[in-house]
Amino acid sequence: MGWWPFRERTFLDPDDEEWQIETWKWFLDKFGGIPDLKHSSLVLPTRQYFPPTDKTGHERAEFIFECVKHLARMPDWPCRLVAQPRRAELRVGDITTLKPITHAPAGTFGFEGNEVVITYQPADIDNPGVLIATLAHELAHYLLLRWRTDIPGGDDVHELTTDLLTVYMGFGVFGASTAFNFSQHQDVMSQGWQWSRHGYLNERAWVFGQAVFLELRGETAETVKPFLKAHLYSDLTEAIRYLRRRGILAAFNTPVSPSA
């Protein structure tokens, strides 16, 4: 087949896009198809999903964790939540503080004996969006445990699959919104900057997954517009149009939502 200059580019890298679609098919096969997907909540950062609480510190983290477990349809899955040691700031000189948050894991999933243990960064208690995304990711590890050796792409993409599963579970808005953040600050005493990356999918991959989630459920992008950064919402509507134009979800045999 010769080169054709007007062939439409894929929304993601072609291999990444193929992996996502195959993984969505795998999720539906393992968890019960479109009917099961529709039982997931479309979780948003509102009081409906996360009621106010006066709790502080670790008790606040545990309160949020219980909310996440309930929304993930895992309220009775036994596990213990543990705070990690706090991270130290990186200070350069007397007035400049740099905080690149890139290497230490925001959370972990593991076992102590026969007990499942999930950890989190205490600093994220003051950044509930990040904490919620982290806890959803660790619970997705728990959910995938029985099928770890069976996922499309194998163990090399296990963390990516875990991120994508949080979209299936209803937490895609949190994953997309916290994938990359940058901020600066300056006052009379100090100046500095902070950037953070969370999760393993990039922003565009999160958005593509969220578009698939909405389309398979017959929901519109307008539902999540108030909770996404402007460029993410723009990418989301682009992804929905792309999915429809290419007929990518036709094989899923599901109705398409009325508008993007």
Cα(119)–Cα(110) distance, integer angstroms: 9
Q: Judge whether residue 19 has pLDDT over 50.
A: yes
- Would you state the pLDDT for residue 251? 78
- Would you state the pLDDT for residue 260? 52
Q: How far is CA 112 from CA 41, 107, 154, in A?
A: 31, 15, 25
Which of residues 185 and 100 earns the better pLDDT score? 100
- Would you state the pLDDT for residue 236? 98
- Would you state the pLDDT for residue 149? 82
Number of other CB atoms surrounding residue 142 within 10 Å: 18
Backbone angles phi, psi at 2, to 5 degrees: -75, 170
- Tell which phi-psi region holds residue 170, choosing left (phi > 0), alpha (psi between -120 and 50) or beta: left
Domain ranges of the chain: 14-252
Span 141-151, pLDDT tens digits: 999 998 878 99
Which of residues 91 and 28 earns the better pLDDT score? 28
Q: Judge whether residue 212 has pLDDT over 80.
A: yes
Average of per-residue pLDDT values in the chain: 84
Q: How confident is the model at residue 4 (pLDDT cuts 50, 70, 90)?
A: very low
- Would you state the pLDDT for residue 59? 98
Q: Judge whether residue 256 has pLDDT over 60.
A: no
Q: Judge whether residue 79 has pLDDT over 50.
A: yes
- Would you state the pLDDT for residue 70? 98
Structure tokens at 191: 């100046």
Q: Judge whether residue 92 has pLDDT over 90.
A: no
Taking residues 193-202, report their average pLDDT.
59
- Would you state the pLDDT for residue 151? 93
pTM, two decimals, is: 0.85
Q: How confident is the model at residue 253 (pLDDT cuts 50, 70, 90)?
A: low
The SS3 of residue 8 is: coil
Closest CA to 132 of 206, 218, 46: 46
The SS3 of residue 116 is: strand
Note whether 31 and 39 are within 8 A (CB): no
Q: Judge whether residue 105 has pLDDT over 60.
A: yes
